[in-house]
Amino acid sequence: MGSFFSTMFTPPPADDPNSAVVAAHSKAAYDQHWEAAKSSGKLMVIDFSASWCGPCRFIEPAFKEMASRYTDVVFVKIDVDELADVARTWKVEAMPTFVLAKGGKEEHVACAVYHPLPEKTCDFSLPEKRLCNPTYRPPL
């Protein structure tokens, strides 16, 4: 029902060919990116959003900028109306929700909040975390 209304009133945005963010429009495409990131050991940042979601549209430019900055990380965008089954798998209840996963395991979830995302992306993607956060102190 949500996908009906979201496409009826707000056409889905076109994919940006210049962006490092991969938009998965099918379960098969998502599964392919998930398996590739899982087998490579790369961090995958999944942006669960919707075309009708104002905060999702507000955060999108920053998400794209992060994708161009962290080239060793896989950034995937999922429209919850298109891929509701994937959103249910990750127990997404609010948008935007960002899931950081590495090696097939969830590392961090940021629900409807952007501010910790760049720091968490850096923390989980780089072996030397203090490169991104000069105040970082490893846990004892």
Q: Which residues are catalytic?
A: 53, 56
Name the β-bridge partners of 45: 75, 100
Question: What's the chain's Rg over C-alpha atoms?
Answer: 15
Cis before 12? omega within 30: no
Is residue 2 within 8 Å of residue 80, measured between CB atoms?
A: yes
